[in-house]
Amino acid sequence: MPGAKTHDAITVVSGLALAPIAYPLLLNGGLSLEVSGLDTALVVGAHCLSGLMFSPDLDIDSAIDNRWGIFFWVWRPYMRIVPHHRHWLSHGLVIPPLLRLLYLFVVVSLLFGGVALALAQIGVVVPDYPAQVFDALLLLARAHPREVFAFLVGFITGGAAHSLADWSVTGGKHFLHRLGFRLAQDYSNHDQRHQRQQRW
């Protein structure tokens, strides 16, 4: 399996490679130069965001959740819910990237709900921000469906590029194995459990 740095390079290169595909497609769809450029930037940006910050390796590679800084703990439950061997939940083409986006929203909403409940005990009432954010996202999707679609497409391809890279390495190893070459699984750069243990 490629390590975090290799995956980062794959993410950025494949993201940039999407631009000359998305831009003419959008232009041919009858959009203006500006709108095509904006939507292309959204696809590329979401692709990189997904690959770099919402990597499928969030459950095993602390190099990824370290990128969330002081909010790294947001991904603690995810590591328990999606152990790495469950590849259909962490490594996949379409559902896993969307699942991670949904996960973040649900966890942040639950945390906020807990804080709001605790504050209510001492008489402090806070607005229901998660519901407001959800309504705002629905409004955004209705007002700018093409841009939201462009973002989601990029977000999905960002996760898919990672999974395809992992699968190609695994497939390549199986192929070499059939030819008589034996390669040991190398997680030395991929799984930094030791570092996480030190942090805790």
Binding region for Zn ion (CB under 5 A)? 56-57, 166
Q: How far is the CB of 200 from Zn ion (least distance, A)?
A: 22
Q: Which is nearer to Zn ion, 39 or 57 (CB)?
A: 57
Q: Which is nearer to Zn ion, 68 or 149 (CB)?
A: 68
Task: Reduce the secondary structure of the chain to three states and give it as a string.
Answer: CCCHHHHHHHHHHHHHHHHHHHHHHHHHCCCCHHHHHHHHHHHHHHHHHHHHHCCHHHHCCHHHHHHHHHHHHHHHHHHHHCCCCCHHHHCCCCHHHHHHHHHHHHHHHHHHHHHHHHHHHCCCCCCCHHHHHHHHHHHHHHHCHHHHHHHHHHHHHHHHHHHHHHHHHHHHHHHHHHCCCCCCCCCCCCCCHHHHHHHC
Q: How far is the CB of 36 from Zn ion (least distance, A)?
A: 32
Q: How far is the CB of 37 from Zn ion (least distance, A)?
A: 32
Q: Which is nearer to Zn ion, 65 or 166 (CB)?
A: 166
Q: How far is the CB of 84 from Zn ion (least distance, A)?
A: 8
Q: Which is nearer to Zn ion, 39 or 59 (CB)?
A: 59
